[in-house]
Structure 1
Amino acid sequence: MKWYTDFFTDLANDFWRGAVQPAQTSAEVDFITGFAAPGARVLDVPCGSGRHSIELARRGHRVTGLDISADAIAHARALAPELDWRQGDLAELAGQDVVADLAICMGNSFGYLDHAGSQRFLADLASVAPILVIDYGCSAEALLPQLPGELRMSAGGVDMVAVNTYDVAGGRLLIDFTFTDGERTQRSTCVQHVYTAAELTRMLQAAGYASVDLYGDTDGGAFEVGSHRLLAVARR
Structure 2
Amino acid sequence: MTWYTSFFTDLANTFWRGAVQPSQTVAEIDFVVGFADGTRVLDAPCGSGRHSIELARRGYTVTGVDISTEAIEHARAQAPALDWRLGDISSLASQGVRADLALCMGNSFGYLDHSGSCRFLVDLAAAAPVLVIDYSCAAESLLPSLPGSIELSAGGVDMVAVNSYDVASGRLLIDFTFSDGVRTQRSTAVQHVYTAGELTRMLRAAGFASVELFGDTDGGAFKVGSHRLLAVARR
TM-score if structure 2 supplies the norm length?
0.99
Residues 67-121 of structure 1: CA distance to partner in whole angstroms, max 9, x if unpaired? 0000000000000000000000000101001100000000000000000000000
% identity of equivalent residues: 78
**Which segments of structure 1 move beyond 3 Å, counting only runs of 4 or more?**
none
Amino acid across the alignment from 2:89: L
1:63 corresponds in structure 2 to 62
CA RMSD of aligned residues (A): 0.5
Partner in structure 2 of residue 34 of structure 1: 34
Residues 161-200 of structure 1: pairs in structure 2 closer than 5 A: 161-200=160-199
The amino acid that maps onto 1:5 is T
Measure the CA separation in 1 of the matches of 2:19 and 2:112.
24
Which residue does 1:25 correspond to in 2?
A: 25
Q: State the secondary structure of the residue aligned to 1:29.
A: helix
Residues of 1 paired with 2:32 and 2:127: CA distance?
17
Deviations 1:134-169 (A, max 9, x none): 000000000000100000000000000000000000
Deviation (angstroms), 1:40: 1.1
Unaligned runs of 5+ in 1: none
Q: Which residue of 1 aligns with 2:137?
A: 138
| 1:82 to 2:81 alignment | yes
What code does the residue aligned with 1:26 have? V
Count of paired positions: 235
- 2:96 counterpart SS class: coil
Counterpart code for 1:12: A
CA distance in 1, matches of 2:102, 2:194: 20
TM-score, normalised relative to structure 1: 0.99
In 2, Cα distance between the equivalents of 1:172 and 1:98? 30
1:106 pairs with 2:72:
no
Task: Please give the alpha-carbon distance, in whole angstroms, between the structure 2 residues aligned to 1:94 and 1:17.
Answer: 27
Q: How far off is 1:36 after superposition?
A: 1.0
Secondary structure of the 1:160 match is strand
Rounded to whole Å, the distance in 2 between the matches of 1:81 and 1:184 is: 29
DSSP-derived class of the 2:76 partner: helix
Structure 2 gap segments, 5+ residues each: none
Alpha-carbon shift at residue 10 of structure 1 (Å): 0.2
Q: How does 1:4-23 map to 2 (within 5 A)?
A: 4-23=4-23
Using the alignment, how far apart are the partners of 1:130 and 1:36 within structure 2? 9
Shift of 1:46: 0.3
Letter of the structure 1 residue corresponding to residue 88 of structure 2: D
